[in-house]
Amino acid sequence: MSGETLTPAIVLRTHAAREADLIVVLLTAARGRVECHARGARKSRRRFPGGLPTGARGEATIGPLRRGSLPPLEGFAATHDHLALGRDLDAFAYVNYACELSDQLVSGGGADLRTFAVLDEAIAAILCPPDHRPTDPRQPHPLLLRRCELGLIDALGWLPALDRCGVCGAPPDRDLRGVAFSLGRGGVLCHEHGPGNRRLAPELLGLAVDLLAGEVGVRELPGPPQAELSESMLAARRGLRDLCRELIEPHLRSPLRSLAFFAQLPARREPG
């Protein structure tokens, strides 16, 4: 049909509309975040084989936008196995958080390959950990969420300076208390601009920089359990979690419901 777009897409969320329809929010490579009307989606296995679960990755066929209505989602064909979302609570929690975060942070249309790539790579790493065997299940690494959060913040232009002064670009002010930092002044600060500001641990900032650069191989190296980590690395991971929340919260339209799900997981705490 003329005007249709075929694009790689990720299902961010759905909700029912009428008897068999769904409203589907997608993050797409070609059109950014798109809210669509999927007629008969709860019954049609021809146009929507495998359904439309949150986190599903595939090829979406989206019709043209019509005045006064949502563009129609004509079809969605999964290109990756997403069965793990229904049988692994940890994977389900991680993927739902990443998708809800993307849904809230990304707005507007237009091609946005960077944000799409961040979410696509995060879901791939969550669902396909290396050497995963059914007899040896492995919880997704908490740093996958930090990488996703930082990647989205960076792609959307909200990332503060992490290794150079956010005011002048000089090397950061570093002493025994840590590195000078101020969100209001652009991130880490040099000796001239740093006095009187809070301090962050160098390990925290180094971890953030390495995650963004892909130098922490969380996909290839799941890493030791938290009990085996040094106190400084545990503190860095917790501090980075808190910093990511500080960066994200001003841009949220409502509290993230998926975050509360981590507390319901057996013998699990919210990943940090």
pLDDT digits (tens, 9 = 90+) for 147-194: 999 999 999 999 999 999 999 999 999 999 999 999 999 999 999 999
Looking at residue 89, its pLDDT comes to: 86
Tell me how far apart the alpha carbons of residues 236 and 215 are, in angstroms, rounded to a whole number: 16
Tell me: do 116 and 136 sit in the same domain.
yes
pLDDT digits (tens, 9 = 90+) for 129-142: 554 444 444 567 88
Task: For residue 254, report the phi and psi dihedrals to the nearest 5 degrees.
Answer: -160, 165
Tell me: do 125 and 260 sit in the same domain.
yes
Looking at residue 192, its pLDDT comes to: 96
Distances from the Cα of 17 to the Cα of 25, 38, 40, 41, 271, angstroms: 13, 9, 10, 10, 34
> Which residue do the tokens 């057996």 mark?
266
166 with 185: CB under 8 angstroms? yes
Angle (CA) 98 162 166, round 5°: 120
Q: Among 54, 82, 110, identify where a domain stops.
A: 82
Looking at residue 169, its pLDDT comes to: 96
Domains: count for the chain: 2
Element (H, E) at 213: helix 202-213
Residue 255's Cβ-count burial label (10 Å; 0-12, 13-18, 19+) is: exposed
Q: Would you list the DSSP string of 99-150?
A: HHHHHHH--SBS--HHHHHHHHHHHHHHH--TT-BTTB--PPPTHHHHHHHH
- Work out whether strand 73-78 and strand 174-175 pair parallel, antiparallel, or are unpaired: unpaired
- CATH code, domain with 248: 1.20.1440.120
Tell me: do 115 and 174 sit in the same domain.
yes
pLDDT digits (tens, 9 = 90+) for 229-254: 678 888 999 999 999 999 999 999 99
- CATH code, domain with 4: 2.40.50.140
pLDDT digits (tens, 9 = 90+) for 69-125: 899 999 999 998 887 777 888 889 999 999 999 999 998 777 789 999 999 999 998
Q: Which of 44-53, 56-65, 127-136, 217-226 has the lowest mean pLDDT?
A: 217-226
91 with 84: CB under 8 angstroms? yes
Looking at residue 135, its pLDDT comes to: 40
Tell me: do 58 and 161 sit in the same domain.
no
Residue 11's domain comprises 1-82
Tell me: do 236 and 142 sit in the same domain.
yes
Tell me: do 13 and 116 sit in the same domain.
no
Task: For residue 41, report the phi and psi dihedrals to the nearest 5 degrees.
Answer: -65, -30
Q: Among 44, 61, 82, identify where a domain stops.
A: 82
Tell me: do 124 and 20 sit in the same domain.
no
Q: Among 82, 98, 117, identify where a domain stops.
A: 82
80 Cβ partners below 8 Å, 6+ apart? 56, 57, 58, 124, 127
52 with 46: CB under 8 angstroms? no
Tell me how far apart the alpha carbons of residues 136 and 59 are, in angstroms, rounded to a whole number: 32
139 with 218: CB under 8 angstroms? no
Tell me: do 158 and 255 sit in the same domain.
yes
